[in-house]
Amino acid sequence: MTVEAFDTVDVIAAKRDGQALSKEQIDWVIDAYTRGVVAEEQMAALAMAIFINDMEPVEIANWTQAMIASGERMDFSSLTRPTSDKHSTGGVGDKITLPLAPLVAVFDVAVPQLSGRGLGHTGGTLDKLESIPGWQAGLSNAAIVDQLEDIGAVICAAGTGLASADKKLYALRDTTSTVDCIPLIASSIMSKKIAEGTSGLVLDVKVGSGAFMKDLRKARTLAQTMVDLGQAAGVNTSALLTDMSTPLGLTVGNALEVRESVEVLAGGGPADVVDLTVALAEEMLRLAGKTDVDVRAALSDGRAMDVWKRMIRAQNGDPEAPLPVAEHTEVVTATESGVLTKLDALSVGVASWRLGAGRARKEDPVQDVAGIELHAKPGDSVTAGQPLMTLHTATPERFSRAIASLDDAVEIGGDAASVPESIVFEKIT
Amino acid sequence: MTVEAFDTVDVIAAKRDGQALSKEQIDWVIDAYTRGVVAEEQMAALAMAIFINDMEPVEIANWTQAMIASGERMDFSSLTRPTSDKHSTGGVGDKITLPLAPLVAVFDVAVPQLSGRGLGHTGGTLDKLESIPGWQAGLSNAAIVDQLEDIGAVICAAGTGLASADKKLYALRDTTSTVDCIPLIASSIMSKKIAEGTSGLVLDVKVGSGAFMKDLRKARTLAQTMVDLGQAAGVNTSALLTDMSTPLGLTVGNALEVRESVEVLAGGGPADVVDLTVALAEEMLRLAGKTDVDVRAALSDGRAMDVWKRMIRAQNGDPEAPLPVAEHTEVVTATESGVLTKLDALSVGVASWRLGAGRARKEDPVQDVAGIELHAKPGDSVTAGQPLMTLHTATPERFSRAIASLDDAVEIGGDAASVPESIVFEKIT
């Protein structure tokens, strides 16, 4: 029988009463939770106390370290090139990882993108890539290292062994209204990224209706908290605060977003996707010590596309195979003429989800073909009757609920739209 | 499949964000918790949010009503006399229920004392009575009503059907550091007492080291909250705030406290026990409309003792049988001469618990014979070497840990002790 270092009720009571938890208390409570000694209802009470009473920076750092210690760590030190990674807090139409990883790899910086599947209205990177015929998400740790050395980029499923406590806590927070809490969000993201063993990390913190953080001030606090955690753990970390008031690019949905990513890799694609891909690539390369590089050239001259094709083939995917296409489409048209002043990211994300692109529960399947093509973006002039978007699905009975979620998504006005000048609002280093 | 009226995470989030919960939300969440639709970890998060963000009086009243609705209600309306009950928040040496119930019954007011067993350092009324040879705690509802009509007093085990949600929530609070919270304490106590169906109720809210509430201000808030809940539910309710800085009377432990209770019923007994018994009896009788009664006379002339003997016999107990006596005793003596300025209730309670009078877990047995006799009380002059207390147990290996808990229990000084003038500090109506 193990003699426990602390009593769970005392640790909960300390945070309940607004005290800072010691490193010893945090190490113990995370480890005991992993071992099942701290019960789910006890962690729920503690998470609520953390939510309401907050944590000091040193507590968040200790909490993150304890989460890292709860699982295995990866090690890329055998690689001949530096590693740099990106994490997005999640948005609608956010396919940036797909062109970004091969683009950065062009410049001899290895990109280990250990990714997840989507839940709710934001899509998952693995779900998108799985629409490519043959592509496999699962790789062993040894295969990840080999592919990073050989090709320079890998996008694959994160092993379940990283930050084990996070996996339990993440599921618990979802059912106990303790999700939207900066110490718990920051430690959850950063424990996985630090355990992953990257030497550089750029955080793409989304702001706006389609993002987790709806306002800039809170997004800035989250970004700064995560940058501090990364730096304290020896990971060269910075963050970009970027716009998520409207979907990224002109496609939302799995195969649709792969198609658009390939357009970007072919030197084309929507300006916002290209701009954000380039901004994140430049930042990832800067963190790896490469500052004087022409990133855009690698998109236009085909070097990024070459890495993409090798990366997809390495995981059994066929980059030349045609992507699946939906059997059923429905067009939404403009009801009046004027300037498109709003195209709400959350509404479009929910509509795409309802068409079948996302899942409501972890075990649900997703449709490769479902999603939405946008034919206009905020700032564009439209005329009444013109197509605004095309909805795609394999199951046409889904159209009505998807269209219902678009009720307040679109605004057409006489004035020019207040479109942000740049997709990147701020950089935090 | 039931369509639920609310989503659990929304109800938790509302209290988390400091909002008042509506009657509909509260009714739903208590019912859904009873049905298992709200999971333990969700109720833990909600309880913590209630602990930190508090509840408004109307929320506490609605919460109490919802807890009452979760179980069965008793009905004493068929009785030919009014009912009046007492609830103590728990203390050390608090045997008052034993002489009080028969004393009040003398005046044709029925006393339905549905009681519990002890947990931790405070003893349980049923544990005490079970040291009487033959006495049985369990009675059917019909038997309770019959005994109230016939004898006027019953002390028995509370049925598990009253306020079912409270039973689950009480156990959860114990492990999640959400015990010491006035809305949850008040609703827990009052839901059971209101469901019990008494028409009058006096609350004995203890204050001091041996009590749940250590300071007068918090005890006053708890008392006022409970009095308001009782009045709102149509129960004529008042509260006395009483001293629990030192043990009540001169005995702590099951058979020892029965012995002292019988002394009080015989017209003797320690002054503090007699004073508090009389004060509570007068208040219970006042709530039942009897104001001009000589309560002390019923102790000295044997009327209360007569009811006691009938009450004990009705539950198969033998009031004339000798009480069990401990085989092992140990005397603690005064280390110096002077006035006893402190005899700490909590320390004595813990010592008695460790001797075997109480239990650490619900399923533990208790010793009838274990406990402590006090030979001096604060304010008494003592001389070095004089016995201060006698420790009783059936298991002498327990003496050392019991004596260890008495380390700081006793203070002997040159000055007069600051002993409260009256055991009753305040009355709240």
Residues of A in contact with B173 (CB under 8 A): none
Q: Across the interface, do B177 and A45 touch by the CB < 8 Å criterion?
A: yes
Is A276 a residue whose pLDDT tops 70?
Answer: yes
Q: Across the interface, do A177 and B9 touch by the CB < 8 Å criterion?
A: yes
Residue A75 located in a structural domain = no
- Best of B12, B41, B46, B173 to substitute, by most chain A Cβ atoms within 10 angstroms, is B41
Token pair recorded at residue B109: 């007011």
The answer to whether residues A265 and A405 belong to one domain is: no
Closest CA relative to residue B305, chosen from B104, B149, B103, B21 = B103
Q: How many CB atoms lie within 10 A of CB B396?
A: 14
Higher pLDDT, A176 or B174: A176
Q: Across the interface, do A49 and B52 touch by the CB < 8 Å criterion?
A: yes
Between CA A85 and CA A235 the distance in angstroms is 10
Token pair recorded at residue A347: 């509404």
Mean pLDDT of chain A: 93
Longest dimension (CA), chain B: 74
Question: Structural domain of residue A12, as residue ranges?
Answer: 8-69
CB contacts < 8 Å between A and B, how many?
A: 80
> How many folded domains does chain B comprise?
3
Residues of A in contact with B51 (CB under 8 A): 16
CB A85 within 8 A of CB A196: yes
Q: How many CB atoms lie within 10 A of CB B426?
A: 15
> Could you say which of B292, B314, B336 is where a domain stops?
B314
Within 359-378 of B, beta carbons closer than 8 Å to A belong to none
Query: Measured between CB atoms, which of B10, B53, B175 is closest to A52?
Result: B53
What is the value of ipTM here, to two decimals? 0.84
Q: According to the model, what pLDDT value does residue A68 have?
A: 95
**What separation in angstroms does the CA of B215 have from each of B187, B242, B247?**
20, 11, 16
Token pair recorded at residue B38: 């709200």
The answer to whether residues B114 and B200 belong to one domain is: yes
Residues of A in contact with B46 (CB under 8 A): 48
- Best of A8, A37, A41, A173 to substitute, by most chain B Cβ atoms within 10 angstroms, is A41
Q: Is A265 exposed, middle or buried (0-12, 13-18, 19+ CB in 10 A)?
A: buried
Residue A421 located in a structural domain = no
CATH code where residue A356 lies: 3.90.1170.30
Residue B158 located in a structural domain = yes
The answer to whether residues B55 and B162 belong to one domain is: no
Within 51-90 of B, beta carbons closer than 8 Å to A belong to 51-53
Could you tell me which chain A residue has the CA closest to the CA of B49?
Answer: A48
Which residues neighbour A389 within 8 Å (Cβ) at sequence distance 6 or greater?
A331, A332, A348, A372, A373, A374, A375, A406
Residue B40 located in a structural domain = yes
Is A150 a residue whose pLDDT tops 90?
Answer: yes
Catalytic residue among A166, A204, A272, A368: A166
CATH code where residue B29 lies: 1.20.970.10
> Could you say which of B274, B292, B314 is where a domain stops?
B314
Q: How far is A270 from chain B (nearest CA, A)?
A: 38
Q: Across the interface, do B44 and A49 touch by the CB < 8 Å criterion?
A: no
Q: Is B87 a catalytic residue?
A: yes
Query: Measured between CB atoms, which of A45, A51, A52 is closest to B44?
Result: A45
pTM of the predicted structure, to 2 decimals: 0.86
Q: According to the model, what pLDDT value does residue A212 have?
A: 86
Q: Across the interface, do B16 and A47 touch by the CB < 8 Å criterion?
A: no
CB A214 within 8 A of CB A208: yes
Q: What is the pLDDT of residues A56-79, one digit of tens each?
A: 999 999 999 999 999 999 989 899
CATH code where residue B291 lies: 3.40.1030.10
Residue B320 located in a structural domain = no
Q: How many CB atoms lie within 10 A of CB B96?
A: 26
Q: Please say whether the dihedral angle defined by the alpha carbons of residues B249, B250, B254 and B257, taken in this order, is positive or negative.
A: negative
Q: How far is A175 from chain B (nearest CA, A)?
A: 6
Is A362 a residue whose pLDDT tops 80?
Answer: no
Listing DSSP states for A171-220 in one string gives HHHHHTT--S-HHHHHHHHHHHHHHHT-SEEEEEEEESTTSSB-SHHHHH
The answer to whether residues A149 and A263 belong to one domain is: yes
Q: According to the model, what pLDDT value does residue A154 have?
A: 96
The answer to whether residues B310 and B362 belong to one domain is: no
Closest CA relative to residue A376, chosen from A291, A267, A239, A270 = A270
Could you tell me which chain A residue has the CA closest to the CA of B48?
Answer: A45
Residue B139 located in a structural domain = yes
The answer to whether residues A138 and A205 belong to one domain is: yes
> pLDDT category, A11, cuts 50, 70, 90?
very high
Range ranked top by mean pLDDT from A120-134, A155-169, B16-30: B16-30
Q: Is A192 a catalytic residue?
A: yes
> What b-and-e string marks burial along A378-394, b requiring 16 or more CB atoms within 10 Å of the CB?
beeebeeeeebbbbbbb
Is A1 a residue whose pLDDT tops 60?
Answer: no
Q: According to the model, what pLDDT value does residue A417 have?
A: 63
Catalytic residue among A95, A173, A286, A392: A173
The answer to whether residues A238 and A157 belong to one domain is: yes
CB of A337 within 8 Å of a chain B CB? The answer is: no
The CA-CA-CA angle for residues B96, B99, B100, to 5°, reads 70
Q: Is B192 a catalytic residue?
A: yes
Q: According to the model, what pLDDT value does residue A355 have?
A: 96
Closest CA relative to residue B109, chosen from B133, B130, B129, B85 = B85
Q: Is A290 a catalytic residue?
A: no
- Beta strand B84-88 pairing with B200-207: parallel
CB of A9 within 8 Å of a chain B CB? The answer is: yes
- Best of B48, B53, B170, B174 to substitute, by most chain A Cβ atoms within 10 angstroms, is B48
CB A152 within 8 A of CB A124: no
Percent of chain A with pLDDT over 90: 84
Between CA B241 and CA B261 the distance in angstroms is 21
CB B389 within 8 A of CB B372: yes
The answer to whether residues B221 and B309 belong to one domain is: yes
Q: According to the model, what pLDDT value does residue B2 have?
A: 62
Which residues neighbour B285 within 8 Å (Cβ) at sequence distance 6 or greater?
B84, B104, B107, B109, B291, B293, B295
Which residue stretches of chain B have pLDDT < 70?
Answer: 1-2, 119, 416-417
Residue B187 located in a structural domain = no
Is A381 a residue whose pLDDT tops 90?
Answer: yes
Q: Across the interface, do B43 and A41 touch by the CB < 8 Å criterion?
A: yes
The answer to whether residues A239 and A361 belong to one domain is: no
> Could you say which of B314, B349, B365 is where a domain stops?
B314
| DSSP assignment letter at B292 | S
The answer to whether residues B226 and B291 belong to one domain is: yes
Catalytic residue among B95, B167, B173, B359: B173
- Tokens 């993409």 correspond to A308
Q: What is the pLDDT of residues A204-249, one digit of tens each?
A: 999 999 998 889 999 999 999 999 999 999 999 999 999 999 999 9
Catalytic residue among A27, A85, A86, A87: A87
Q: How far is B177 from chain A (nearest CA, A)?
A: 5
Token pair recorded at residue A141: 């740790």
Residue A106 located in a structural domain = yes
Q: Across the interface, do B177 and A9 touch by the CB < 8 Å criterion?
A: yes
The answer to whether residues A253 and A382 belong to one domain is: no
| Mean pLDDT, residues A167-189 taken together | 91
The answer to whether residues B146 and B37 belong to one domain is: no
- Tokens 């080999």 correspond to A146
Rounded to 10°, the helix A164-175/A182-196 angle is: 150
CB of A181 within 8 Å of a chain B CB? The answer is: no
Edge to edge, the sheet with strand A371-374 lists A251-253, A371-374, A387-393, A328-333
Between CA B202 and CA B198 the distance in angstroms is 11
Between CA B265 and CA A216 the distance in angstroms is 73
